[in-house]
Each structure stands twice: as C-alpha cells, then as structure tokens.
Structure 1
C-alpha cells in the first residue's frame, strides 16, 4: 500500500498530491507546521502540539482551518489510512491560495491544509541513541521570531546540510554572545560539570519545543535539578553529557561538538534514563 496524503479536505495517493502554484506557503513561506511523534498509532504530546499550532497561527493571523476536535479526527484518519504504528505525522497550514501579493489577501481566503505520515524504524532509532551522535556549531542567522513554527526554514536547512557534510547529525546555532540557542531541528541540552541539566529558556527567541516541555515535566517529577539558562559550546565540551530533544529525535545523546568529545565521548546515564522515561510517558499519554 502506498502512502496517503491529506490535501485540503481529500485523502489522495501521496504521489498524486498537489498544491496550487499560488499557495502562499509555497510563495512566501506564509505557513506554519507541526510534527507529532506516533507511538502505536497514537499522537504523542498531542495537547502541546495543538496549543503551539494554535499559537503559531494566531501570531500570523491565520485562522484555525477547523476545530481542534475535527482536526484530531482528520489526523487520526491520516494515521489509520497509512497504517503507521511508529512514525511521524506532518501537518502544514498556509494562509491559503491567492494572487501573488505580499500583503494578506483581502477578503481573506480559506487556509490550505496538508498532512503526511511516515514510518520510523524504532529499532534503528534505539541503536542510534545507544551510539550517540555528533553536532556542529554554526552562527545564528535566523529571523527574530523563531518562537513561531513557520515553514521558513532555509537557514535551518543550510545548517543541517553543514552538519551532514561534516558527518554530524545536527547543527547548533550560536548567537552573537557565544551562546547556543537551539538546534536546526531540535532543542539543545547539557548535563553540566555540577550535574545540573541546562537548556536555554524559551524567552530567548527559541522554539517552544513540545518534547522539551514534556521532558521538563519528567525531570521535575524525578526531582532532578534543571537550570534554564544558556550555555556555550565550551560549556558543552566541559559537560558530563549533552543531548537534543525533538519529535523526530525524542531524547538523543550528543557525544561530540565540532569534532571534540563531550564527557567520555559516549552516551551517558542521564540522557539514557531521560530517553526511557520520556518514551514511557509519551506512550502512556498518547491519544
């Protein structure tokens, strides 16, 4: 069975799915997106993703294309039709289709909605986590509203390509003060020299990662110490451990930064424990 996409009210074979040439998401990146991890065919961290989607749309003055209840039904139907148990669901909402003009269309047009579902090899993912990954650093060059999850991802794509060319899995953006902001598609964490978990606070123009937020709940439940303040690449290299979080990576240990080892150069016990606990919580709460 081939993959099935959802495009503006219709489920179609993904190879036949198309959007209008004047869709503003295509022409202006005038669109937002969300990605849900799927566990046993269910949506992980659903509430957080819905809330962030609604906030992103509100910040761009794009109306919700349907009620949350209706959207939930469509999302679940997309998963069912693709027969995916473990994977990712991608949702994109653009302002809609209108003759090309930078200003918003007046009168307003109906938002355009697409969804795709892809399978994930959890065995391979666990093997990757057991081995750990490396990251590279790159200067922060993104726009000033990274808190909105828009499809304007060219700097992220270039950063990710820089990482791939270096044989790394992720790139960490570093701001003008020398602090790590976040990854190209993840949030960045370290376990510092004193054993404290550190990750940048979301008031610093970074994406309000849903996996990040759920992991903070796990951390507090476990009574671990967390410090939401920035760290430098040097801090990461001096740390006991480092890791990244995101819907696609979950909790993934980082063992090297710019070719230099973090800690002992292998995944540490804190990241391994947090990955296990996060997955357990996400599975239990998935809808």
Structure 2
C-alpha cells in the first residue's frame, strides 16, 4: 500500500481525492514544490519549504500548517512509503468553493496534498549530457511563483520532446530566461553566468546551491541576463533542477557544444554537488564523479 498526505492526514493514496470544485483543478489556483530524496532523506528541505510558503503567500494563500509541521508530516510520509530515492510532490490550492474567478469569501480551507514518487538519479545523462532546443518564452510575468499554471512550460517541453531533446531553453526576444523546467547556466571566459533571480524566472533551489558552491570553491560566478549570442558562443552550458541536478547541455538546435562532451567546470560542479548531497543525506552508492 502507498500513502499520501491530504490536509494533514496520511491516508491510503487511493483514497486521496479532492472535490471537482477545488480551485486547483478549475483554475490552477495554487502552488507546488518537488523535493528530492536521497537515502531516504529530504535534500534542501528548509529551502523548499521556504519557497513553498513564499509562493503561496504571493497569491494570497495561507498554508494551514507551519514549516516545521510540514517537514514532520513529509518525514512521516517518507517513512510510511519506505522511499529511498525519488521525489516528494506537494501542492496547496485555495480550496473548494463554487466556481468564481473572484477569491472565495468565508471559511474556505486550503487543500494540501503530498505524495512520493520513486525514481533514480539520471546518471547516464549526467555523464554524457543532453540536447536542447530554443523557444520563445510565452509565459506570464510572475515566473518566480511556483504556480500550478504550467501550460507555457508544458508546450515548451513538449516541443523539445518532439524534436528528441531533453529541454527547451526559453528566451524573451534576445534575452535567455530559463528552461521549461530548469535554470540555465553558461560558462564564458571561465565564469559561470546565470539569469538573476527576478520575476522572469523561478529562483531554483538547486541553482542557489550551485551559486554557493561556486563562491566557496573560487569559481567565478555572475547572476545577470545573457543573450542568445552569448549562449551560442558559450564554452560550456548546463542546466539545473531538483531532479536534474547539474546537467551538462552538449547540443543546442543541432549545434554541438565543446564537440558534444561536458566541460570541466560543469564536471567540477557535478562533483561538488554530489559532495553536498552526501553532506546532507549520506553517502551515494552510484555517483557521476
């Protein structure tokens, strides 16, 4: 039996259902998080919960549990499901109310759901790298909110998939923003460059870990907007996300980067990232470096 968290209770996952008038279902009126699990432990849990609460507050939802309570419930869920490697998916919506674009009034309680997903690290892709395409960023202007409204991201990811690629690198005009489900980094003159964390991108938890690793290990790093031309001329390109970690990008729009092999700075950051995982969650059995 698998278990899920529904409004503070851990129950049989098959029984975890919400009403058809839940605003998450009808409007995408909610936010979510994905937390990575290594060795049965949650990686960067505090940062994920902080972003989860901030995203909810940004759209006027007050989560009916403290971060400590959420952490304890997720820990219990992990134990119940005996998850060693994979993810926790968690979302909160504004709750159940008659369909109306205006926020409901009265005693409407937010709906909180979480469940676990088994999954292994993408070691082969981490070692060999992945391909990407370019696509215009058609999303709204509050990408810093981890909203349930992901149609723009889905359309970009589907376009990449149809072309046999792992990711779609999005851009607004000449400015590169982020991937459909990742943050994008380039290496230029030995410096790691990634888009500043503002309303046009999601402030990635993995991205922030990478920035800290760069600073601690004397790798030059800069948060700023970079252009399509800089992307094309980059010495190295990599992406980051909760599930993709530090993922080399070896080809964009059919053009190979570094002859189609991961670069040395990307590889160094992969090794440093694995050490950070081990620091928080214990030794990894299967490693890239």
Q: TM-score range by the shorter chain?
A: over 0.9
Alpha-carbon contact 2:8-2:73 (below 8 Å) kept: no
How far off its partner does 1:204 sit? Answer: 5.2
Rounded Cα–Cα distance in structure 2 between residues aligned with 1:54 and 1:29: 17
Match in the other structure for 2:132: 135
Q: What whole-Å deviation, never above 9, does each CA across 1:138-173 have from its counterpart, x for those lacking one? A: 111101111111110011011110010010011111
Match in the other structure for 2:285: none
Rounded Cα–Cα distance in structure 2 between residues aligned with 1:259 and 1:4: 43
* TM-score, normalising length: structure 2: 0.93
Match in the other structure for 1:254: 249
Alignment size in residue pairs: 282
Matched, 1:277 2:264: no
Rounded Cα–Cα distance in structure 2 between residues aligned with 1:131 and 1:237: 20
SS at match of 1:172: strand
Rounded Cα–Cα distance in structure 2 between residues aligned with 1:31 and 1:160: 21
Matched, 1:201 2:200: no
Alpha-carbon contact 2:45-2:71 (below 8 Å) kept: no
Change in Cα spacing, 1:163 to 1:15, as seen in structure 2 (3 Å) is farther
Change in Cα spacing, 1:234 to 1:262, as seen in structure 2 (3 Å) is farther
Match in the other structure for 1:68: 67
How far off its partner does 1:108 sit? Answer: 4.1
Matched, 1:37 2:19: no
Name the Cα RMSD after superposition.
Answer: 1.5
Rounded Cα–Cα distance in structure 2 between residues aligned with 1:275 and 1:46: 20
Alpha-carbon contact 2:143-2:199 (below 8 Å) kept: no
* TM-score, normalising length: structure 1: 0.94
Alpha-carbon contact 1:171-1:183 (below 8 Å) kept: yes
Match in the other structure for 1:82: 81
Change in Cα spacing, 1:95 to 1:204, as seen in structure 2 (3 Å) is closer
SS at match of 2:273: helix
Match in the other structure for 1:159: 156
Q: What whole-Å deviation, never above 9, does each CA across 1:10-33 have from its counterpart, x for those lacking one? A: 333434432110111111111000
Alpha-carbon contact 1:239-1:263 (below 8 Å) kept: no
Q: What whole-Å deviation, never above 9, does each CA across 1:215-247 have from its counterpart, x for those lacking one? A: 111110001101212223332231111110110
Match in the other structure for 2:104: 105
SS at match of 2:126: helix
Rounded Cα–Cα distance in structure 1 between residues aligned with 2:163 and 2:145: 29
How far off its partner does 1:262 sit? Answer: 1.4
Matched, 1:229 2:210: no
Structure 1: which 5+ residue stretches go unaligned?
A: none
Rounded Cα–Cα distance in structure 1 between residues aligned with 2:168 and 2:221: 23
How far off its partner does 1:286 sit? Answer: 4.7
Match in the other structure for 2:166: 169
Structure 2: which 5+ residue stretches go unaligned?
A: 283-289
Alpha-carbon contact 2:33-2:52 (below 8 Å) kept: yes
How far off its partner does 1:4 sit? Answer: 2.3
